[in-house]
Amino acid sequence: MTEPLKIGKHVVRYPLIQGGMGVRISAGRLAGHVAKCGGVGLVAAAGIALNSGLYNGKNFFQAEAEAFKAELRKAYEIAPDGVIGVNVMVALSDFEPLVKAAIEGGAKVIVCGAGLPMGLPELTASHPDVALVPIVSSLRAAQLIARKWRKSYQRLPDAVVVEDPDTAGGHLGEKMENIGTGEYDQYATVREIKEFFRDEYGVAVPVIAAGGVWDRADFEHALAEGADGVQMASRFVCTVECDASDEFKQRYIECAKEDIGLIMSPAGLPGRAILNNQEKIRQYDLDKHTPCRMGCLKKCSYKESGERFCIVTALDRAQRGDVETGLVFCGTNAWKADRITTVQAIFDELFGSATEK
């Protein structure tokens, strides 16, 4: 029998978090259906205003907050009693306003990666029931966050996501040269973090494994290795309910294992994506003389010097269906997608017979 997952005051039937995929890949529809099926559904904040009907070319930050709340409303219409949360990257220029918008929109869980969310408890102090979940790739990062939160805010993370940079998709919290060397041990890190919270604070903080989880065997392996649950993102892209375009989903179905690799994001972080159109992504901005209209990232080489490409518009193009010049983020298992399925079918495969007894 699969045990429920408790994150702070919130309990889901199945120990699964749907990972946040920015620029409207995981928006209200996907998050709502994951929550309806008994997992934690996440709306990703990054670029949520694009393709929302709320952004007029000049009001990006205002539109981000409004679109974020609109997607949360959409998710709750699908799963009124579900555990619906958000993913807000620390690297976003409007990190703080987006956290506040998430609270206003009723998010029950806030997951933060792409940086250490040192001040997150202060932003959510008026809503102590909102569960706070940092994403880390090392014991050191978990220790820094926990000690800062305990000292300054008298609270600890409600769960910790341990992301494997060797397998996860999108932006990765590791230096490019350290990825794929074979030295990183995700589940050793999971066990070290669990032990740290137990030894230093006497509490059992759920630790969630993210990256490389595709099927039931992967899920059961994660639990056997000490994880309390898993975070899955790429697996949910090729579903009817995913908010991406059909062309985006088809890119997953058609890609080969060797098409997936690392790209250096203008955010200063490596990212994992389908790379067989890499030159066209940069060329689009050169041909169109694309300016930085939004300033969506705190640090961005494109904003500062025109280096690389505008990542939010590249991701937006792909989300809308232009996968020739758009950027398609994915994890290492994306090539395993062979058809369009449903969120419910994925839950049935992962948990079906375990819950039918």
Instruction: Write the pLDDT tens digit of every residue in 194-232.
Output: 999 999 999 999 999 999 999 999 999 999 999 999 999
The confidence score (pLDDT) of residue 353 equals 57
**What amino acid occupies position 251?**
R
Closest by CA to 6, choosing from 182, 212, 267, 207, is 207
Q: Are residues 92 and 236 in the same domain?
A: yes
**230 membership: H or E segment, kind and range:** strand 229-232
Q: Are residues 236 and 259 in the same domain?
A: no
Query: Hey, is 12 helix, strand or coil?
Result: strand
For residue 270, pLDDT beyond 90: yes
Instruction: Write the pLDDT tens digit of every residue in 53-109.
Output: 999 989 999 999 999 999 999 999 999 999 999 999 999 999 999 999 999 999 999
What radius of gyration do the chain's Cα atoms show?
19
DSSP assignment, residue 342? -
**What amino acid occupies position 102?**
A
Q: Are residues 182 and 69 in the same domain?
A: yes
For residue 354, pLDDT beyond 60: no
**Alpha carbon of 207 to those of 17, 38, 195, 307: distances in Å?**
11, 18, 10, 37
User: Which CATH number belongs to the domain containing residue 42 in this structure?
Assistant: 3.20.20.70
- Note down the domain range covering 154: 5-244+338-355
Residue 17 backbone zone (phi > 0: left; psi -120 to 50: alpha; other: beta)? beta
For residue 17, pLDDT beyond 80: yes
For residue 242, pLDDT beyond 50: yes
Which residues make beta-bridge pairs with 208? 161, 229
**288 membership: H or E segment, kind and range:** helix 278-288
Number of other CB atoms surrounding residue 58 within 10 Å? 9
What is the pTM assigned to this prediction? 0.95
Number of structural domains (the chain) is: 2
